Amino acid sequence: MAVLRENRYGKTGVRLMKVTREGSLHSIAEWTVRVLIEGEYTDVFLYGDNTDVLATDTMKNTVYARANLSAARSMEAFAGELSGFLLERNERVSAVEVHVESALWKRLTVDGEAHPHAFMKGSNELATATLKRTRDGVTLRCGMEDMVVLKTAQSGFVGFKRDELTTLPETEDRLLGTAVAAGWSYSGEMDDSAMVVTREKLRASLLRTFALHESKSVQQTLYAMGEDALTAVPELVEITLTMPNRHHLLVDLQRFGQVNANEIFVPIDEPSGYIEARVTRA
């Protein structure tokens, strides 16, 4: 006999671009939103009874309507507003989860000055936030994905275990490339503007440590980044970092009578090393 233990449903891939106009100075945010609701919907799944079912198309429209009315600058604050609105209006709903992904846009600099309303799309990096609101409270998980970085010095990998299947040569001078993914949680609550500032501070800390760290392995650099993030952002409780080792293979040019002075590489995405760790306060 089958039993419906848990259920949730919603709308995903709701894309929006919001322009905030403060006189001649404009700001933009490109968000992709996913809304999922949980509740007492057993009759829907078992018998097709759609009484009190909130259509996913209505959820999509709600995202746009609430974005239009919202003054939130951070996606965390918007996720809080949206989840509260849906929970309040739907008695059958016991929990609302809102996941937001924010694309990277940069303000253009023209003739040495920041342009008030022209922007350029950055990399594929995404800022993320997942907020879940129940009748009892709120949990928030923030993060980022696909922050692609590379350094051409201060990275090596030596002294590792070798056996009959080991072919990797040791090196004290290699390229270190990765696509950083991170997830973290905060202690206490922060207002809208603090969320924006804190995220920027955390991102800057991760980039600074990656650039300056004398890396003996990806593992060591990952831990240093997490440790420094906890120091730079007092509100941070813990951070999980994932850093695939995107290899850059030195090309053998000897057959052409040339010396490759650690300058010509073949970048590959797969296979790659995969390093992950969670760093917390003691």
Q: Each residue of 111-170: pLDDT tens digit? A: 999 999 999 999 999 999 999 999 999 999 999 999 999 999 999 999 999 999 999 999
Q: Do 180 and 213 have their domain in common? A: yes
Which pLDDT score, from 0 to 100, does residue 269 have? 87
Mean pLDDT (whole number) for 97-110: 97
Q: Do 21 and 127 have their domain in common? A: yes
Mean pLDDT (whole number) for 257-274: 95
Which pLDDT score, from 0 to 100, does residue 77 have? 97
> Which of 102, 136, 170 marks a domain boundary?
136
Which pLDDT score, from 0 to 100, does residue 75 have? 97
Active site residues: 11, 56, 247
- pTM of this structure: 0.93
The mean of the pLDDT values for the chain is 96
In a domain, 1, yes or no: no
Q: Do 115 and 205 have their domain in common? A: no
Report H helices in the chain. Answer: 42-47, 56-69, 75-89, 192-212, 218-232
% residues pLDDT > 70 (the chain): 100
- Print the domain residue range for 202: 147-280
In a domain, 205, yes or no: yes
Going by C-alpha positions, the residue among 271, 124, 272, 246 that lies closest to residue 175 is 246
Q: Each residue of 208-238: pLDDT tens digit? A: 999 999 999 999 999 999 999 999 999 999 9
Q: Would you say residue 188 has pLDDT above 90?
A: no
Domain count of the fold of the chain: 2
Mean pLDDT (whole number) for 77-95: 97
Q: CATH number of the domain that 37 lies in?
A: 3.10.270.10
Mean pLDDT (whole number) for 193-214: 97
Q: Do 43 and 82 have their domain in common? A: yes
C-alpha distances in angstroms, 186 versus 83, 211, 236, 252? 19, 25, 5, 48
